[in-house]
Amino acid sequence: MRLLVLGGTRYLGRHLVDAAIERGHAVTTFTRGQLATHESPAVIPLRGDRDPEKPPGLAALASGAWDAAIDLSGYVPRIVDASCALLAGRVRRYVFVSTVSVYADASRPGLDESAPRAALADPATEDVAAHYGALKAACEDRVGARFGDAATIVRPGLIVGPGDPTDRYSYWVARFTQPQVLGERDAEAAVPAPADAPIQFIDARDLARWMLSLAERDVAGTYNAVSPRGFHTWGGFVDALCRHPYGDTRTPEPVWIDPAVLATAKIEPWTELPLWLPAGGAAHAGFLDIDGVRAADTGLTVRSLDETIVDVSAWLGGRWRPGAWQHVLTVERERRLVALQAARES
């Protein structure tokens, strides 16, 4: 298969290109060239800019044909539409990576692909930080308008695994397997109660291989790319983290912090305490409990927690990024949480 990857030099794109090479596909990547391209001679690197208004724009894509394109880097409808318009008729299957953030109302658990999506109040806005979900929904519409039945829309939830440039899932792996990379840390680690609360994520390698299989099989449709509902809980996640200390590292003791204590301490959800969303936050009660049946029916599989944790821990062991861990719990804030929980229990 001749595969065009819009993006492809880091994280999900890196895993996607690796999987495509393993399967013997001819891969072309289109990037701005700001990061190192894939080292394999099987990859043809093209350089340009997704925004046609920024030279050299899309000139490198003016010729050529591919069996499939996988769009990893589309966030603005105008820019996505420009790529689609240029590639229509020269790409058999267009796979667009969207997000579960497109849903207008995440308060209800079990949202499937038919749930209403967010809409832009100002269709001209390109403020991705402020309107991420609604802009992705509009991008989906542009892809569908250009490619019709040749479009495949993939809506991942939280993507995790080796190479993750965020500090979300990786924070927890670091906290339990290599707390020293976070700096000073106590022997007790604060984790959000209750232990049976659902949590969802998808390993980037599972996502990459499944998307590649969709392109290979020419599969149309829209899919929530998430782990099955109830497959992961906070308790199961923490138990798995405790099973895999890195080297001779001593695993910290998890301390389950009641929601009331987290609220009293004014802990910032998702960032200061990564992956945690307060149960009382009705607006996002279903964000980590999305329906993924359609994706599973087309072959999306989920590897074990243990495998992802071990691989992320190994990756962290060789990681150096001075900007990491800037927004997660500080040792002082975590210490206060543990003390507040102890006071509550006594």
Tens digits of per-residue pLDDT, 55-92? Answer: 999 999 999 999 999 999 999 999 999 999 999 999 99
pTM of the model: 0.95
How many domains does one find in the chain? Answer: 2
Residues 236 and 132 in one domain: no
- Of the chain, the percentage scoring pLDDT greater than 90 comes to 84
| Same domain as 113, residue 174 | no
Residue 229 has pLDDT above 90, yes or no: yes
pLDDT > 90? residue 285: no
**Positions of E strands within 143-282:** 151-156, 159-160, 188-192, 202-203, 221-225, 253-257, 269-270, 273-274
Please, which pLDDT band fits residue 126 given cuts at 50, 70 and 90?
very high
Q: Which strand (E) or helix (H) includes residue 247?
A: none
59 and 193 housed in the same domain: no
Q: Quick one: average pLDDT of 24-40?
A: 83
- φ/ψ of 72, rounded to 5, equals -100, -10
Nearest alpha carbon to residue 109 among 292, 278, 286, 288: 286
Does residue 293 form part of some domain?
Answer: no
- The closest alpha carbon to 160, from 6, 314, 277, 309, belongs to 309
Greatest CA separation for the chain: 71
Compute the distance between CA of residue 234 and CA of residue 274 in angstroms, rounded to an integer: 12
Residue at 219 is within a domain: no
* Same-domain pairing of 311 and 182: yes
pLDDT category of residue 37 using cuts at 50, 70 and 90: low
Say whether both 172 and 239 belong to one domain: yes
Residues 27 and 147 in one domain: yes
Q: Which domain holds residue 263?
A: 165-199+231-288+304-345
CA 184 to chain CA centroid, Å, is 28
Q: Is 225 within the bounds of a domain?
A: no
Last residue of a domain, one of 156, 190, 217: 156
23 and 151 belong to one structural domain: yes
Under the banding of pLDDT at 50, 70 and 90, the label for residue 321 is low
- Whole-number pLDDT of residue 324: 84
- For the chain, the distance separating the N- and C-terminal CA atoms, rounded to the nearest angstrom, is 64
C-alpha angle 208-2-139 in degrees, rounded to nearest 5: 55
Using a pLDDT cut of 70, give the percent of the chain over it: 96
Residues 315 and 83: their CA atoms lie apart, in Å, by 34
